[in-house]
Amino acid sequence: MTRTRGLTRTRGLTRTHGRLPLRPFAALAVAAGLLGPVAAPSGGPAPDAGPRTAPVAATAENTATVFYWTKTRNWAQYKLHWAPDGGSWTTVPGVAMEAACTDWVKKTVSLGTATGLQATFTNGTGTWDNNGGRNYALGTGSLTVKDGVIAHSDPCAGTEPEPTPTPTPGAKATVYFSTEALGWSTANIHYQPAGGAWTAVPGVGMQSACAGWWKREVDLGTAASLKAAFNNGNGTWDNNGGADYTIGPGLSTVRNNAVTANASDPCAAEVPDTQAPTAPAKVTAAADGVSVLLTWDPATDDKGVTKYQVTRVGGSGGTVVTDVGSTVFSDTRLAERTAYTYTVRAVDAAGNVSAASAPATATTGDAPATPATGKPLGTDPREDPIYFVLTARFNDGDPSNNRGGSQHTKSGNTANDDPMFRGDFKGLIQKLDYVKGLGFSAIWVTPVVLNRSDYDYHGYHGYDFYKVDPRLESAGASYQDLIDAAHAKGMKIYQDVVYNHSSRWGAKGLFTPTVYGVRDSQWSWYYDEKQPGFEYDGLTIDAKTGKSYYNGDLWSTAEPAGNTCLNWGRPTGGKSAEGYTVYNCQWPSPTSGMFPKALYHQCWIGNWEGEDSRSCWLHEDLADFDTENPAVQNYLIGAYDKYIDMGVDGFRVDTAVHIPRTTWNRRFLPAIQERVTRSHGAEAAKNFFVFGEVAAFVNDKWNRGSVNHSAQFFTWKERKEYDADDAKAALEMYAYEQQQGTGAQPSSTNAFLEGNSYHTPDHSRFSGMNVIDMRMHMNFGDASNAFSNGKDSDDSYNDATYNVVYVDSHDYGPDKSSERYTGGTDAWAENMSLMWTFRGIPTLYYGSEIEFQKGAKIDCGPSCPLATTGRAYFGAHVAGSVTASDFSQVSAASGAVATTLQQPLVKHVQRLNQIRRAIPALQRGQYSTEGISGGMAFKRRYTSGTTDSFALVTVSGGATYTGIPNGTYTDAVTGDVKTVSGGTLSVGAPGKGNLRVYVLNGPGRIGTAGPYLK
């Protein structure tokens, strides 16, 4: 993704529910009774230090009462096979456990002087739960084992006496504690009646009351209140930020660090939902040939809208009712020149149906004389190397749509006559032959939706997700025209899409905030003059100023009705970078109160590898959607349905890691598949390529040990059921997978050969999202390092042969460098040779074929001119004419582009594309390094029907291959022929950047020798 900074601001960080920090090992060790005292919650003793009363002599014998969760097992009987620490195991299969309470069995065992035990569980007939081979390490007291999670708790507590001295009869406190935002699987209350003693750590177990709530009744005796802290039994505490909670008699709830006294029972039976949603508003119908596109604003409901019913009247089909999951409906294959009338009703989860909307009517035209344009090519995406362009910076085909934006002068772009919106679809259409001549058959374009932020040329500040940005379109060169033109040349279009956030000004059709504005001598440059009835389009110019309108429709000096922003229009006491007075509510932020909580998150990210990285703002000009809200989901699904219908071939998903995997797997990925299938058929859906940016800037297999923030995690389906509510499910999934850890994640052999044999991959657990190979990207400072890191991670992806592989991009270079790659031409050639032959899909950032802007800072926002950055305008290098007769084949070129095409890396990438295109094993093959000596050396094979492609590859260095099939191998680079009769083939070192590709029964030399491949 791309983040650019506009006005200078300061911001605070969020807390994480008052939890005490405890490293995972320490938490496990505390649970197992292996560590001594650790930091205590405020007001309570150290968790292993006991109560605050005077020390009591230890009893002669320790005991442990082990509770085991049965709901997910359903065994006929349960046995505990155990051994005290340092002692002997029971005789297999162990001792019988007894019924405890609903879904639990228990067994109390005597440990003697031991302070813990090792335990496993069995059904007595050969089925075991031994914690994945590690056994369960348990301590003393009451312990629970639930789906692999250990906690100190008595889940059946409630009738036993409290572990405090018996008070005189008195008031009782009924405490409900919410774990909804914490993701805990159990809860204990550690408490102290006023004037009394604290319970022993970790306190007493609370009972599950209803989803997300735990309950415990406490006898206060003569006390008027109690102090309390809560924990999950494994060392994670909520102690109200160190202050503990003060709770009085009666029913109280504790939720998100707030105590509500005399509260209503949060688990009381809900009143039946009889309230219908509001009728959908602003229904519009637009005909295009024999199709009608219907759109409307989301309806509202006290419980949430689940679907819409679209009723069509007209034509010979009578009345037709269709259920729709979003706020957009495309009605196709209608009769010609026929009027159709539509109404829409909203339906909630209880089945309540709204009144019908106002009708909308559209009259169809003539059916197309030829089949409609916009059908994806639908072939295997691994066949297509990708060329990545920032559309607005690649080539300017139409200067009339160039726009500088609000920061044109401040950035220094004015002095260079270099408006940020400069390139366009017309310019890209004009240079499709340049891209094809390089050998690329897929183009990744930056987001195309109408943007709106301070510096938004790159497309990641979406404002109207249903409209293509007019600064990119021209007469005869619309987005549809680009898609059709690329398809006509056999090239795919992958559209960059953003589901995580909108522009700082919100999203048109969902929510747009009103901001405070004063057009004084300081701020008149920033606040456009209001124009009645004007709607922002990014393109229209104010005749008075000669600048594009930016925010004149959004600001108000007077406080608007219904304003929720705090301290409207009052000076903050701070100054902008220019020294201007800054006012409250002057521009949107997550903590200003401007955005509705139902649609947008209300916090800044504090921990980039924590759960809040999925539920807080990334940056001040990227307003973070609440993607677990159905209204937001419908808005985004409806928007991207439009581009699927236009025939794009895939989506590159920006900031994918900042949306929970459950939301991707439940909502967005199925919606993509359903729409492609409906619009273009099942085969197109199978090959519609979705690849996500799961940014992980580390050099290890798992992102700092956090599975939830690792790229490969997003390639898998869920492996258990979570709450039906998306927000709750996200927290449950996060907690469950973090507890499972890296060692218990699914693995795959889909990328690997079995010896020398290709095997049919198993994609049954595939989520629908592939990913950018962040680990290889981070290590491409050295190709061999990228190779070894890539291999190390491949068993944890669903299928690494679909990984998108690049050296640098519009965000970072290798090792999180903020500059475009500057390792030298030889190193670039070596990187390319590896990318084009190793598993995955090679991707090149525009201009890298000539080392464009090498060493330049990739992004500095409006603080420096674009011409000095890694996003500089490229058009000067492709000026002139170019004609490609085929991929990697240029039949004619003149002007500057002819010079560009003679550069050494251009020649290199052209031939790499030729070789890869001719050898199926290099596109779709599985690989192995078994039996191979050498550095970057491997074998690949792909078998399907009559195709059997087997290749031996070495990059830069020599290699020896043993145990390979006998036969004739021909090098695709030199044409050299080697006959193998004893299962061994040796290759000399070809030199840095060069490679050898020996193909069994191969086609011979492919292409002509160049500066590196020779």
Write out pLDDT tens, residues 584-643: 999 899 999 999 999 999 999 988 888 889 999 999 899 999 999 988 998 999 999 999
Q: Could you give the C-alpha distances from 492 to 387, 440, 827, in angstroms and in order?
A: 10, 9, 29
All residues at 6 or more sequence positions from 678 whose CB lies less than 8 Å from its CB, including other chains: none
pLDDT in tens, 108-128: 999 988 889 999 999 888 888
Q: Which stretch of 545-554, 569-578, 716-725, 891-900 has the lowest confidence by average pLDDT?
A: 545-554
CB 190 within 8 A of CB 198: yes
Q: What is the pLDDT of residue 673?
A: 94
CB atoms within 10 A of CB 931: 15
Higher confidence at residue 771 or residue 149?
771
Taking residues 883-912, report their average pLDDT. 97
Q: What is the pLDDT of residue 907?
A: 98
Higher confidence at residue 133 or residue 806?
806
Distance separating alpha carbons of residues 621 and 2, to the nearest angstrom: 11
Taking residues 10-28, report their average pLDDT. 30
Taking residues 59-65, report their average pLDDT. 80
- State which amino acid sits at residue 504: R
Instruction: Give the model's confidence band at 895: pLDDT under 50 very low, under 70 low, under 90 confident, else very high.
Output: very high
CB 462 within 8 A of CB 513: no
For residue 482, the Cα-to-chain-centroid distance in whole angstroms is 28
Q: What is the pLDDT of residue 182?
A: 81
Distance separating alpha carbons of residues 890 and 895, to the nearest angstrom: 14
Q: Which stretch of 457-461, 543-547, 808-812 has the lowest confidence by average pLDDT?
A: 543-547
Phi, psi of 137 (to 5 degrees): -95, 115
- Most confident range (mean pLDDT) of 269-283, 528-542, 860-874 is 860-874
Average pLDDT, the chain: 89
CB atoms within 10 A of CB 369: 5
pLDDT in tens, 636-679: 999 999 999 999 999 999 999 999 999 999 999 999 999 999 89
Whether the pLDDT of residue 38 is over 60: the answer is no
Whether the pLDDT of residue 46 is over 70: the answer is no
Q: Which stretch of 23-27, 194-198, 365-369, 948-952 has the lowest confidence by average pLDDT?
A: 23-27
Distance separating alpha carbons of residues 583 and 517, to the nearest angstrom: 9
Q: What is the pLDDT of residue 141?
A: 87
pLDDT in tens, 288-343: 778 787 878 888 888 778 888 999 999 887 898 888 766 777 787 789 999 999 99
Distance separating alpha carbons of residues 179 and 151, to the nearest angstrom: 15
Q: What is the pLDDT of residue 702?
A: 93
Angle between helices 630-646 and 669-680 (to 10 degrees): 30
pLDDT in tens, 384-395: 999 999 999 999
Nearest to 252 by CA among 158, 172, 164, 162: 172
DSSP assignment of 270-314 equals PPP--PPPPPP---EEEEETTEEEEE-PPP--SS-EEEEEEEEE-
Q: Residues, the chain, total?
A: 1014
DSSP character at residue 469? -
| In 794-858, alpha helices (H) | 825-835
Q: What is the pLDDT of residue 60?
A: 62
Taking residues 472-488, report their average pLDDT. 94
* CB burial readout 129-168, b (16+ within 10 A) else e: bebeeebbbbbbbbbbbbebbbbbbbbbbeeeebebeebe
pLDDT in tens, 160-174: 444 444 444 578 999
Taking residues 246-267, report their average pLDDT. 93
Whether the pLDDT of residue 516 is over 50: the answer is yes
Whether the pLDDT of residue 198 is over 60: the answer is yes
Instruction: Give the model's confidence band at 18: pLDDT under 50 very low, under 70 low, under 90 confident, else very high.
Output: very low
Q: What is the pLDDT of residue 296?
A: 84
Residue 813 in tokens: 């270079």
**437 - beta bridge partners?**
none
CB 879 within 8 A of CB 431: no
pLDDT in tens, 999-1012: 999 999 999 999 99
Taking residues 462-467, report their average pLDDT. 96
Q: What is the pLDDT of residue 343?
A: 96
Whether the pLDDT of residue 259 is over 60: the answer is yes
- State which amino acid sits at residue 106: K
Give the H/E segment covering residue 25. Answer: helix 24-31
Q: Which residue has the tokens 């006023």?
A: 194
Q: What is the pLDDT of residue 1000?
A: 97
Q: Which stretch of 44-53, 180-189, 415-424, 494-503 has the lowest confidence by average pLDDT?
A: 44-53
All residues at 6 or more sequence positions from 712 whose CB lies less than 8 Å from its CB, including other chains: 745, 771, 793, 796, 797, 798
Q: What is the pLDDT of residue 494?
A: 98
Radius of gyration from C-alpha coordinates of the chain: 32
Exposed (0-12), middle (13-18) or buried (19+): which is 337, by Cβ within 10 Å?
exposed
* CB burial readout 107-124, b (16+ within 10 A) else e: bebebeebbbbbbbbbbe
Higher confidence at residue 163 or residue 551?
551
- Percentage of the chain exceeding pLDDT 70: 92
Distance separating alpha carbons of residues 443 and 385, to the nearest angstrom: 8
Q: What is the pLDDT of residue 110?
A: 92
All residues at 6 or more sequence positions from 316 whose CB lies less than 8 Å from its CB, including other chains: 335
Distance separating alpha carbons of residues 584 and 9, to the nearest angstrom: 12
Instruction: Give the model's confidence band at 373: pLDDT under 50 very low, under 70 low, under 90 confident, else very high.
Output: low
Whether the pLDDT of residue 563 is over 50: the answer is yes
Distance separating alpha carbons of residues 158 and 310, to the nearest angstrom: 52
Q: What is the pLDDT of residue 372?
A: 52
Instruction: Give the model's confidence band at 27: pLDDT under 50 very low, under 70 low, under 90 confident, else very high.
Output: very low
CB 863 within 8 A of CB 415: no
Higher confidence at residue 538 or residue 39?
538
Distance separating alpha carbons of residues 354 and 304, to the nearest angstrom: 12
Taking residues 887-905, report their average pLDDT. 97
Instruction: Give the model's confidence band at 919: pLDDT under 50 very low, under 70 low, under 90 confident, else very high.
Output: very high
SS (H, E, C) 450-484: EECCCCCCCCCCEEEEEEECCCCCECCECHHHHHH
- Percentage of the chain exceeding pLDDT 90: 68
pLDDT in tens, 827-878: 999 999 999 999 999 999 999 999 999 999 999 999 999 999 999 999 999 9
